[in-house]
Structure 1
Amino acid sequence: MAHQIAVDIEPKPWTGRSDGTSAEHLRWHHAVQPYSAETAPGDCVLIGFSSDEGVRRNKGRRGAADGPDALRAGLASMALAEPLQIQDAGTVAVSGEELEAGQAALGNAVNAALDSGHFPVVLGGGHEIAYGTYLGVAGSELRTAGAKLGILNLDAHFDLRGDPIPSSGTPFRQIAEDEAAAGTSHQYSVIGISQPSNTTALFDTAHRLGVRYLLDEECGVIDRGVVDQFLADFLDDVDLVYLTIDLDVLPAAVAPGVSAPAAYGVSLETIQYVCDRVTSSGKLAVLDVAELNPSLDVDNRTARTAARLIHRIVTKHVPVRR
């Protein structure tokens, strides 16, 4: 069944470098079309989430609301080795301080894309994006009774704060509370946790909630076996995966354009390896990318890196069996 996707900002025409119009010259901007509810299932559907209200509430540096357009610009001229069906549904924008309404709207958009049989890729936006994306996958037809949801967060932070007001630092605690209230099963796992960036209270919360994690210092290239086993255990334990990438998981030299640049971080090589494993698993239902702050970026370095990861995930994606 086809589903309309409601957004606040309609998709704009994509432009970029063009070396020709034949298949061997294909780039993202040639392939992207505006979203249509009438298209057959199987496309990648881009949904923007323009918000940094959660970052503001979490006392971070604002600017991530401009992330969706910067990610689109980073993707536009990337070459495609073979034809790909990509649709742009436009952008859900948080108005003023109305974060919760924006997250609900994002959830509806993700839900519509999933129930239409597509692969939604959500372009953020602060990491408050996570709760909205979760609402979409939790309410989708893919979340059948007994299906265990796996959330894999590539992030320097747990984002499990107990603050009474939701922010970019609370989404995974909110998700845990929703899952407990619904009596459903999920596994939240994190790769790239920075010990100096998370208090003992946050580690205690993670342990209490059964969160599995790898520290950033356990994710070096020489630690590939450790990362591989962590991923194997995660993927074997869940039926459906939501992958969320907070760009501050990367070293500051690679991703300077984030609210909280990483002093150590996880190498791009390791992050790409993780993305490859997850997208080829046949369990990845939805992806979001968070915390790109173009006003803090250097030579579009962070946007280009994020776009490369999105390109990799989309072009190697094995759809979820329905």
Structure 2
Amino acid sequence: MTQRIVLIGAPTDIGAGARGASMGPEALRVADIKPILESHGLSVEDHGNLAGPTNPWLPPVAGYRHLAEVIEWNRAVHDAMLAALQAGQLPILLGGDHSLAVGSISAVARHCRAVGKKLRVLWLDAHADFNTSTITPSGNLHGMPVACLCGHGPAELVSMSDQVPAIEPWNIYQIGIRSVDQGEKRFVHEMGLDVFDMRFIDENGMRHTMEQALLGLDDNTHLHVSFDVDFLDPEIAPGVGTLVPGGPTYREAQLCMEMIADTGRLASLDVVELNPALDVRNKTADLAVDLIESLFGKSTLMRRS
């Protein structure tokens, strides 16, 4: 049966520290995400963009910037993702900044509980995104979604799924991490997150890293990938608001995506933090679409099972 994919745009930079990620969905469309996926025999519907509040660009209040607006955007994302999953579709969230993952993954977790599936989240990112209002240096909510999903954050975000926490720390595997704030570092350690940082990848290679992150997947596992474009090295992906040197190379990123595709378990996807205002001739969007294509089975040769 042809896989039914839906594209859901969330054009906002409400949780970020730089403007521009609101243009990310359109940049991915300009990079031909829909026709490229369709070229692999996939059925792709573009549901357009969700609506939400504009970015007021205000300072943080009680440790959070734009909390009310972030909540509103995440509710819209949650409802759209959940509707797609309930319709038997594979939703791709086109962000937008990474705070939107609260709504996206809350919907995935809710759906998994309803259908009795296990959930595995792969968080591809330069950052752990495990800050709280008391340890954040900026108040930007795109640095807090993993903490919110694990039950640490404002009630409206923490309770967006049908239970608190939406996910347990052992449901999530972080890959490519190389920038963690000081207080956040202690909190990640206390919570016991599985973090495959760049040192781990340097020492063990991307193949071993992905083997560990994908270990134990079975027919009853829903695999969600949350792909922050700043996961990639800035030399190949300059179009992001938070550049951190030393990320995965093109080939390392391709191997990561190809090994995910090989599992056949990918069931939902976020693509976030693409910032065309900081890009060069849509280079980063083109690369993101190239990697998404690999997530859905593009390979150099026909592989034996």
User: Fold conserved (TM > 0.5)?
Assistant: yes
2:302 corresponding residue in structure 1 = none
Matched, 1:199 2:181: yes
- In the aligned structure 2, how far is the partner of 1:301 from the partner of 1:144? 40
2:45 corresponding residue in structure 1 = 87
Name the SS of the counterpart of 1:189 in structure 2: strand
- Among residues 143, 148, 164, which one is paired with 1:181 in the alignment? 164
Corresponding letter in the other structure for 1:173: A
Tell me: CA distance 1:234–1:92, structure 2 relative to 1, closer, same or farther (3 Å). farther
Q: TM-score, normalised by structure 1?
A: 0.76
Corresponding letter in the other structure for 1:168: H
Matched, 1:170 2:144: yes
2:21 corresponding residue in structure 1 = 64
- In the aligned structure 1, how far is the partner of 2:115 from the partner of 2:88? 18
**2:31 and 2:285 in contact (8 A); partners too:** yes
- Among residues 161, 164, 172, which one is paired with 2:131 in the alignment? 161
What is the CA-CA distance between 1:190 and the residue it aligns to? 0.6
1:96 corresponding residue in structure 2 = 54
2:230 corresponding residue in structure 1 = 248
Matched, 1:258 2:240: yes
Tell me: CA distance 1:130–1:234, structure 2 relative to 1, closer, same or farther (3 Å). farther
What is the CA-CA distance between 1:309 and the residue it aligns to? 1.4
What is the CA-CA distance between 1:166 and the residue it aligns to? 6.8
Name the SS of the counterpart of 1:285 in structure 2: strand
Corresponding letter in the other structure for 2:10: F
Tell me: CA distance 1:208–1:46, structure 2 relative to 1, closer, same or farther (3 Å). same
Tell me: CA distance 1:200–1:68, structure 2 relative to 1, closer, same or farther (3 Å). same
1:50 corresponding residue in structure 2 = 11
Q: TM-score, normalised by structure 2?
A: 0.80
**1:41 and 1:118 in contact (8 A); partners too:** no
What is the CA-CA distance between 1:249 and the residue it aligns to? 1.1
1:280 corresponding residue in structure 2 = 262
1:261-296 residue CA offsets vs partner (Å, 9 max, x unmatched): 121111122222222222332332210111000000
Matched, 1:128 2:99: yes
**2:7 and 2:91 in contact (8 A); partners too:** yes
1:152 corresponding residue in structure 2 = 122
What is the CA-CA distance between 1:228 and the residue it aligns to? 3.5
Tell me: CA distance 1:85–1:269, structure 2 relative to 1, closer, same or farther (3 Å). same
Tell me: CA distance 1:285–1:183, structure 2 relative to 1, closer, same or farther (3 Å). closer
What is the CA-CA distance between 1:151 and the residue it aligns to? 1.4
Corresponding letter in the other structure for 1:116: A
- Among residues 86, 104, 107, which one is paired with 2:78 in the alignment? 107
What is the CA-CA distance between 1:200 and the residue it aligns to? 3.3
Structure 1: where are the runs of 5+ without partners? 1-39, 317-322
Corresponding letter in the other structure for 2:49: T
1:155-194 residue CA offsets vs partner (Å, 9 max, x unmatched): 1100011116671011110100048735865512111111
Decide which moves more: 175-184 or 205-214. Answer: 175-184
1:204-262 residue CA offsets vs partner (Å, 9 max, x unmatched): 211222211112233259714431332233647x8222101111111111110100112
Structure 2: where are the runs of 5+ without partners? 56-68, 152-157, 299-305
**2:2 and 2:41 in contact (8 A); partners too:** no
CA-based RMSD of the aligned residues comes to 2.8
- In the aligned structure 2, how far is the partner of 1:184 from the partner of 1:245? 18
What is the number of equivalent residue pairs in this alignment? 271
Name the SS of the counterpart of 1:280 in structure 2: helix
Tell me: CA distance 1:267–1:84, structure 2 relative to 1, closer, same or farther (3 Å). same
What is the CA-CA distance between 1:71 and the residue it aligns to? 0.4
- In the aligned structure 1, how far is the partner of 2:228 from the partner of 2:216? 19
- In the aligned structure 2, how far is the partner of 1:72 from the partner of 1:267? 24
What is the CA-CA distance between 1:91 and the residue it aligns to? 0.9
Name the SS of the counterpart of 1:266 in structure 2: coil
- In the aligned structure 1, how far is the partner of 2:280 from the partner of 2:91? 28
- In the aligned structure 2, how far is the partner of 1:210 from the partner of 1:260? 25
- In the aligned structure 2, how far is the partner of 1:145 from the partner of 1:226? 31
